Chain A
Amino acid sequence: MANLNDHKGRPIVAVTGIGVVTSLGVGKTDNWAALTSGKSGIHPITRFPIDQLNTRISGMVDFLPSSSQGASPLTYELAELAGLEAVAEAGLDSSDFGGPLFLASPPVELDWAERFSLYNSGKDKDDTAAEKLLRVARSLKELDIFETTQFGSIADRLAERLGTRGLPITLSTACASGATAIQLGVEAIRRGECERALSIGADGSATAEALIRFSLLSALSTHNDIPEKASKPFSKDRDGFVLAEGSGALVLESLEAALSRGATILGILGGCGEKADDFHRTRSKPDASPAIAAVRTALADAGLREDEIDYVNAHGTSTPENDKMEHLALSTVFGERIGSMPVSSNKSMIGHTLSAAGAVEAAFSLMTMRESVIPPTINYDNPDPAIVLDVVPNKKRNAEVRTVLSNSFGFGGQNTCLVMAREPV
Chain B
Amino acid sequence: MSSPRDVIITGIGLVSSLGEGPDAHWQKLAQPGLEPVLETARFSPYTIHPLPEIDWNLQIAKRGDQRQMETWQRLGTYAAGLALDDAGIKGNDELCTTMDMVVAAGGGERDEAVDAAILAASESRNDRDVLLNEKLTTELRPTLFLAQLSNLLAGNISIVHKVTGSSRTFMGEEGAGVAAVETAAARIRSGQSTHILVGGAFQTEHSDMLLGYELAGYLHRGPWKPVWQRQGGEGGGVVTGSGGAFLVLEQREHAISRGRKIYAELGPVVSGRSRRQRGELDMAIAALLKQAVLPNGKLLALSGASGAHAATSAEKAALDANPAISARGFSTLTGHMKEAQFPFAVALAALAVHRRAAYPVFDAAAEKPFEGVPATVLATAVGYHQFEGMALVNTA
Interface residues of B (CB under 8 A from A): 46, 68, 101, 105-107, 110, 112, 115-116, 119-120, 122-123, 127-130, 132-134, 136-138, 140, 142, 145-146, 148-152, 154-156, 158-159, 162-173, 175-176, 178-179, 182-183, 186-187, 190, 192, 207-208, 210-212, 214-217, 219, 235, 271-273, 275, 383, 385-389
Contact of B119 among A129, A134, A160 (CB under 8 A): A129
A residues 284-303 near B (Cβ < 8 Å) are 290
Q: A247 to B366: give the CA distance in the assembly, Å.
A: 48
* Contact (Cβ within 8 A) B133 A208: yes
* Contact (Cβ within 8 A) B155 A53: no
Q: Which residue of A lies closest to B275 (CB)?
A: A160
| Given the contacts A134-B214, A171-B171, A275-B164, A208 and B155 also touching, CB distance less than 8 Å | no
* Contact (Cβ within 8 A) A166 B271: yes
* Contact (Cβ within 8 A) A217 B159: no
| Given the contacts A109-B110, A155-B172, A278 and B129 also touching, CB distance less than 8 Å | no
What residues of B have a CB within 8 angstroms of the CB of A334 in the complex? none
What residues of A have a CB within 8 angstroms of the CB of B155 in the complex? 174, 276, 281, 411-414
* Contact (Cβ within 8 A) B216 A143: yes
Q: How far is the CB of B335 from chain A (nearest CB, A)?
A: 17
* Contact (Cβ within 8 A) B186 A191: yes
Q: How far is the CB of A366 from chain B (nearest CB, A)?
A: 23
* Contact (Cβ within 8 A) A216 B142: yes
* Contact (Cβ within 8 A) B150 A130: no
What residues of A have a CB within 8 angstroms of the CB of B163 in the complex? 276, 278
Contact of A167 among B68, B149, B168, B175 (CB under 8 A): B175
* Contact (Cβ within 8 A) A151 B150: yes
Interface residues of A (CB under 8 A from B): 48-53, 105, 107-110, 112, 115-116, 119-120, 128-134, 137-140, 143, 145-146, 149-153, 155-156, 159-160, 166-174, 177, 180, 184, 187, 190-191, 193, 208-209, 212-217, 274-282, 290, 410-414
Contact of A172 among B119, B158, B171, B273 (CB under 8 A): B171
* Contact (Cβ within 8 A) B273 A166: yes
* Contact (Cβ within 8 A) A138 B235: yes
| Given the contacts A133-B207, A156-B273, A276-B101, A414 and B137 also touching, CB distance less than 8 Å | no
Most chain B C-beta atoms within 10 Å of own C-beta, residue among A110, A173, A275, A276: A276
Contact of A112 among B130, B132, B146, B168 (CB under 8 A): B132
Q: A146 to B46: give the CA distance in the assembly, Å.
A: 18
* Contact (Cβ within 8 A) B151 A410: yes
Contact of A116 among B119, B159, B162, B387 (CB under 8 A): B119
- Add 15 more A-B contacts to A110-B208, A169-B172 (CB < 8 A): A49-B130, A52-B133, A120-B122, A132-B119, A133-B211, A137-B217, A138-B217, A146-B215, A168-B273, A171-B169, A171-B171, A174-B152, A180-B168, A213-B142, A277-B158
Contact of B137 among A134, A150, A215, A412 (CB under 8 A): A215
Q: A171 to B104: give the CA distance in the assembly, Å.
A: 9
- 10 closest A-B pairs by beta carbon, nearest first, are A412-B155, A152-B172, A130-B207, A146-B215, A151-B171, A129-B116, A216-B142, A276-B167, A146-B216, A213-B145
* Contact (Cβ within 8 A) A116 B175: no
Most chain A C-beta atoms within 10 Å of own C-beta, residue among B148, B159, B383: B159
Q: Which residue of B lies closest to A188 (CB)?
A: B186
* Contact (Cβ within 8 A) B170 A129: no
Q: A304 to B49: give the CA distance in the assembly, Å.
A: 53
Q: How far is the CB of A213 from chain B (nearest CB, A)?
A: 4
Q: A171 to B150: give the CA distance in the assembly, Å.
A: 9
What residues of B have a CB within 8 angstroms of the CB of A108 in the complex? 107
What residues of A have a CB within 8 angstroms of the CB of B216 in the complex? 140, 143, 146
| Given the contacts A48-B129, A140-B215, A278-B164, A412 and B151 also touching, CB distance less than 8 Å | yes
| Given the contacts A128-B116, A138-B235, A282 and B217 also touching, CB distance less than 8 Å | no
Q: A274 to B154: give the CA distance in the assembly, Å.
A: 14
What residues of B have a CB within 8 angstroms of the CB of A130 in the complex? 112, 116, 207, 211
* Contact (Cβ within 8 A) B386 A173: no
| Given the contacts A129-B115, A411-B155, A413-B164, A150 and B183 also touching, CB distance less than 8 Å | no
What residues of A have a CB within 8 angstroms of the CB of B387 in the complex? 152, 156, 167
| Given the contacts A171-B168, A193-B186, A52 and B134 also touching, CB distance less than 8 Å | yes
* Contact (Cβ within 8 A) B219 A138: yes
Contact of B133 among A51, A167, A275, A290 (CB under 8 A): A51
What residues of A have a CB within 8 angstroms of the CB of B130 in the complex? 49, 51-52
Q: A128 to B207: give the CA distance in the assembly, Å.
A: 11
Most chain B C-beta atoms within 10 Å of own C-beta, residue among A153, A187, A213, A214: A213
Q: Which residue of A lies closest to B107 (CB)?
A: A107
Q: A95 to B78: give the CA distance in the assembly, Å.
A: 43
Q: How far is the CB of B171 from chain A (nearest CB, A)?
A: 4
* Contact (Cβ within 8 A) B123 A120: yes
Q: A49 to B137: give the CA distance in the assembly, Å.
A: 13
> What are 11 pairs between A and B in contact, CB < 8 Å?
A48-B133, A51-B134, A52-B138, A115-B119, A151-B171, A151-B173, A152-B387, A167-B178, A173-B169, A177-B151, A208-B133
Q: A145 to B208: give the CA distance in the assembly, Å.
A: 13
Q: A226 to B114: give the CA distance in the assembly, Å.
A: 33
Q: A150 to B152: give the CA distance in the assembly, Å.
A: 18
Q: Which residue of A lies closest to B174 (CB)?
A: A152
* Contact (Cβ within 8 A) A412 B164: no
Contact of B164 among A49, A133, A276 (CB under 8 A): A276
What residues of A have a CB within 8 angstroms of the CB of B129 in the complex? 48-49, 208
* Contact (Cβ within 8 A) A150 B150: no
Q: Which residue of B lies closest to A130 (CB)?
A: B207
What residues of A have a CB within 8 angstroms of the CB of B46 in the complex? 134
Q: A277 to B166: give the CA distance in the assembly, Å.
A: 9
What residues of A have a CB within 8 angstroms of the CB of B210 in the complex? 134
Contact of A412 among B119, B128, B167 (CB under 8 A): B167
* Contact (Cβ within 8 A) A173 B167: yes
| Given the contacts A53-B133, A150-B173, A119 and B119 also touching, CB distance less than 8 Å | yes
What residues of A have a CB within 8 angstroms of the CB of B149 in the complex? 107, 172, 174, 411-412
| Given the contacts A107-B149, A172-B171, A276-B167, A137 and B214 also touching, CB distance less than 8 Å | yes
Q: Which residue of B lies closest to A410 (CB)?
A: B151
What residues of A have a CB within 8 angstroms of the CB of B273 in the complex? 156, 159, 166-168
| Given the contacts A216-B140, A279-B159, A280-B159, A137 and B215 also touching, CB distance less than 8 Å | yes
What residues of A have a CB within 8 angstroms of the CB of B127 in the complex? 49
Q: Which residue of A lies closest to B141 (CB)?
A: A216
Contact of B156 among A115, A138, A166, A281 (CB under 8 A): A281
* Contact (Cβ within 8 A) A138 B214: yes
Q: How far is the CB of B159 from chain A (nearest CB, A)?
A: 5
Q: How far is the CB of B235 from chain A (nearest CB, A)?
A: 7
* Contact (Cβ within 8 A) A153 B386: yes
